[in-house]
Amino acid sequence: MTRVFFVVGPTATGKSELAADLAHDVDAEIVNADAFQIYRGLDLLTAKPDQATRAKAPHHLIGTMSIREEMNAEKFRRLALATLDEIHSRKKVAIVVGGSGLYIKALTHGLSDLPQADPSLRTQLNRLTLDQLRARLVDLDPKTMDKIDIKNRRRLVRALEICLMTGRPASAQRTKWKAVGAAVASGTGKRVQDATRSAPKAFGASTGVLVFRDRDELYQRINQRVKAMFQNGVIEEVRATGAMSETASKMIGLREIRELLDGKMSILQCVAQIQQASRRYAKRQLTWFRRQTNFEPLNLSLLSHNEAVKWISQRASRSLAQAND
């Protein structure tokens, strides 16, 4: 087992600050696993850790990608694995920190081979309404329909692409992920080799912590963070942004602020809508991590910051020491 420890959880829980102090304590380096913080620019909108936080330990994959570039879980996995290799080549410990569930899953269990998007098929699917997309997915893959965000057009289109291009349900991917994780956790040998053939260097048996907070406290933190974004100039940040990739354009708050700039809503409406979208996102994140990982849960509402750092540091040091045995 290579020396990797995961700190995951919903937005606004305080992962960045915790991870920075943890990395300082155990002499580790941080690898970002946030789908939007990897982009350059829009620091306020994506809630990148500030300079004081990043000064506590080396940070990787923050602000390293052009906002014009498309990102996906497989591209992230390649970048992260190369970064982890470089960190380990210097005999250093790596702490992967983030809230993008699919990116974390790509590292812990790998990704099976999936077809690249077909431009013609995607154009056809993008012409359909949300209701039409849902109806088709119910027919082709009801299991996936029960698990994904049915209001997320991009997820619906991608699930249908996989079904139509492979002739198999997209939900079969989850079964393969589970097989990889079970095989890696159970030992070595042919079963592991077979299970991970399509997902080299997956960290299925890795250890980590899932941090969260009581709902009322988390929602208060989210609401305050959004207010602080506006106080610190997020409107001008978005105004100055040019063309961007489809992936980058999915940042929470971007559409709302652009509508504000176009005069389609008031600033109070804009703030309220971003707060609501962020709260819903946090709820989806927590559901994902509880279902898709076995990281040890930690309710940060019950501890002070220093107590939480100490608690995680003890577990990280123990698991990383076992990895060296």
State residue 196's pLDDT score: 38
Dist. CA 5–CA 206, nearest whole Å? 7
Structure token pair of residue 274: 């971003």
State residue 172's pLDDT score: 72
Mean pLDDT computed over 281-297: 92
Mean pLDDT computed over 18-36: 95
Mean pLDDT computed over 18-41: 96
For 187-198, write each residue's pLDDT tens digit.
333 333 343 344
Residue 28 pLDDT exceeds 70: yes
Task: Average the pLDDT over each of 125-139, 175-189, 257-271 and give the range with the smallest value.
Answer: 175-189
- Name the band, by pLDDT with cuts 50, 70 and 90, for residue 143: confident
Mean pLDDT computed over 268-274: 98
State residue 208's pLDDT score: 93
State residue 198's pLDDT score: 41
Task: Average the pLDDT over each of 34-43, 55-64, 145-154 and give the range with the smallest value.
Answer: 145-154
For 72-106, write each residue's pLDDT tens digit.
998 999 999 999 999 999 999 999 999 999 999 99
Residue 111 pLDDT exceeds 80: no
Of the two residues 248 and 162, the one the predictor is more confident about is: 248
CA dihedral 216, 221, 225, 228 (to 10 degrees): 100
State residue 187's pLDDT score: 33
Mean pLDDT computed over 57-83: 95
Please return the burial class of 203, using the count of CB atoms within 10 Å of its CB with bins 0-12, 13-18 and 19+: buried
Please state, as a whole number, how many other Cβ atoms lie within 10 Å of the Cβ of residue 308: 21
Residue 42 pLDDT exceeds 90: yes
Cβ-Cβ contacts under 8 Å for 136 (sequence gap 6 or more) = 128, 160
Q: Which residues of the chain form beta strands (DSSP E)?
A: 4-8, 28-32, 59-60, 93-98, 207-212, 296-299
State residue 194's pLDDT score: 41
Name the nearest CA neighbour of 196 among 82, 112, 116, 73.
112
Question: Parallel, antiparallel, or unpaired for β 4-8 and 59-60?
Answer: unpaired
Instruction: Please give the angle made by the CA atoms of 290, 296 and 14, to the nearest 5 degrees.
Output: 80
- pLDDT, the chain, mean: 86
State residue 190's pLDDT score: 38
Q: Output the CA–CA distances (angstroms, integers) from residue 96 to 2, 309, 318, 320, in the order listed.
A: 13, 15, 17, 13
In contact, 95 and 316? CB cutoff 8 Å: yes
* Domain 4-111+199-215+282-324 -> CATH class: alpha beta
State residue 197's pLDDT score: 40
Number of residues assigned to the chain: 325
For the chain, what percent of residues have pLDDT higher than 70?
86
In contact, 76 and 96? CB cutoff 8 Å: no
Residue 23 pLDDT exceeds 70: yes
Mean pLDDT computed over 241-253: 94
State residue 216's pLDDT score: 98
In contact, 36 and 248? CB cutoff 8 Å: yes
